Amino acid sequence: MQRKLSARHMQMIALGGTIGVGLFMGANATIKWTGPSVLLAYMLAGIFLYLIMRALGEMLYVDPDTGSFAKFAGEYIHPVFGYLTAWSNIFQFIVVGMSEMIAIGQYFEFWWPQLPSWLPGLIAITVLVLANLISVRMFGELEFWFALIKVVTIILMIVAGFGLIFFGIGNGGHPIGLSNLWSHGGFFAHGASGFMFALSIVLGSYQGVELLGITAGEAENPRPTIVKAVKDTIGRILIFYVGAIFVIVTVYPWNELSNLGSPFVQTFAKVGITFAAGLVNFVVITAALSGANSGTYSASRMIYTLADSGQLPRAFTKLNRHGVPFYPVVTVGAGILIGVILNALLPIIAPGAGNIFVLIYSSSVLPGMVPWVVILLSEINFRKVHADKMADHPFKMPFAPYTNYLTLAFLAITLIFMALNPETRVSLLVGVIYLGFMTWLYFHRNRKVKRA
């Protein structure tokens, strides 16, 4: 492969994989569950996310390679963990890509209600696959601009919101103030249980930041690039998420948000931007394209990693003349295309299936956590294997291994509350079944190989 991704590409790829439907579409759900204290949920999850990325950054600094965390899992824990990590990542991003293609069709209905909902998704995935096949730099540039649109929109919203809250700009010079944070049932409006229930959705919205590790194998000057990208990306994600949510729950009473439509639309409209609905609709389309684009990249590199380790046919390691793994990219594109087909057929076969987007998207939550778990476990054994390199390592995981265990406990507690919550129980069950099946498949194949 070719090292054609710069630090700006890597940062925007990580941002693009994380700042997406989880923020633009998930804000109402998390606020509904826990009230203004959702701010703390995003901060708390962000702290543990930073620790996960530091653990990954420590390993990447020594061994920057494509498919990084799946490779580390196989080397430093057990080959089955590398296998599960790769397939979880593939499953996660294909499923998210499917749901985003479905969402794009719905977004275009805002402007053209008569347009077949499957057509925009078909065009979008075709363009994204072609862009990924042309070169890794083309992918990086496309993702850079997709992510930049989202970032600029969130910054504008935060600036406009602060003007409204503290200076009354757009409200006749009368500042709204901070009272909405505690005036409608208190800061913890639904108590500790509501806060814990919201954590699973908050963590789900952060999934994708580990894309930074997958890009390492195609990064220019990987060591300084990785250090800069890890440091900058986490800070920016926290600013964007916490800043945007702060504006939303401060500008409006949290218990009225579900009746106001998109909180992003309402915030822009409040300061006098009358075309806010169309603007945000455009931004959400680019957010969906960005998520599918980064997912195509991530899942295709994991397929390449599996083939390179002998878990898939060697044909999947074939690179085209641009240094891109051809068959993995096409395979992922075909998987995402299933979402377009479902979008076209389900209204005919099952007219009442109105929650197809939610059903598909939510099933990616548990598999999406697998890379985080293996990163934390791999780093513990990585230190033992590379003890000679730790003394002068400039980018070590802080307070390891205690921070590893603390973060693992946090993820485990979140999963327990997912099981207790009726609204997330089914999505957790889908993930458990998938991981159980892939574990059985791994050992079944190994037994067949040994017998042969």
**Measured between alpha carbons, how far is 105 from 122 in angstroms, rounded to an integer?**
9
pLDDT of amino acid 331: 94
Threshold 0.85, pTM exceeds: no
For residue 236, give the amino acid letter.
R
User: Which residues 6+ apart lie within 8 Å of 329 measured at CB?
Assistant: 129, 132, 133, 296, 300
Taking the CB of residue 192, how many other CB atoms lie within 10 A of it?
11
- The overall average pLDDT reported for the chain is 81
Q: Report H helices in 208-355.
A: 211-214, 222-251, 263-270, 276-308, 326-349
The angle, 0 to 180 degrees and rounded to 10, between the axes of the packed helices 27-34 and 191-206 is: 160
Query: Over the stretch 244-285, which tens digit does the pLDDT of each residue have?
Result: 889 888 887 888 776 555 566 666 666 666 566 777 778 878
**Confidence label for 355 from pLDDT (cuts 50, 70 and 90):** low
pLDDT of amino acid 261: 52
Query: Over the stretch 177-187, which tens digit does the pLDDT of each residue have?
Result: 898 898 888 88
Contact 69, 374 (CB under 8 A): yes
pLDDT of amino acid 14: 61
pLDDT of amino acid 12: 65
Tally of residues, the chain: 452
What Rg do the C-alpha atoms of the chain give, in angstroms?
Answer: 22
Query: Over the stretch 12-34, which tens digit does the pLDDT of each residue have?
Result: 666 665 666 666 666 777 788 88
- Superfamily of segment(s) 7-451: Amino acid/polyamine transporter I (1.20.1740.10)
**Measured between alpha carbons, how far is 336 from 94 in angstroms, rounded to an integer?**
5
User: In the numeric block, which tokens belong to residue 112?
Assistant: 């053209």
Please check the confidence at residue 344 and state whether its pLDDT lies above 90: no
The mean per-residue pLDDT over the stretch 195-204 comes to 84
**Measured between alpha carbons, how far is 260 from 277 in angstroms, rounded to an integer?**
12
pLDDT of amino acid 262: 59
Closest CA to 105 of 121, 90, 84, 85: 121
pLDDT of amino acid 328: 93
The angle, 0 to 180 degrees and rounded to 10, between the axes of the packed helices 276-308 and 263-270 is: 140
**Measured between alpha carbons, how far is 87 from 96 in angstroms, rounded to an integer?**
14
**Confidence label for 348 from pLDDT (cuts 50, 70 and 90):** confident
State the residue for tokens 């389900």.
346
pLDDT of amino acid 110: 79
Please check the confidence at residue 354 and state whether its pLDDT lies above 70: no
State the residue for tokens 């909180």.
263
Q: Which of 82-91, 147-156, 265-274, 432-441 has the lowest mean pLDDT?
A: 265-274
**Measured between alpha carbons, how far is 151 from 137 in angstroms, rounded to an integer?**
20
> Which of the pair, 5 or 29, is modelled with greater confidence?
29
**Measured between alpha carbons, how far is 163 from 166 in angstroms, rounded to an integer?**
6
pLDDT of amino acid 350: 58
Please check the confidence at residue 170 and state whether its pLDDT lies above 80: no
Query: Over the stretch 209-248, which tens digit does the pLDDT of each residue have?
Result: 776 666 655 666 777 777 777 777 677 777 778 888 898 8
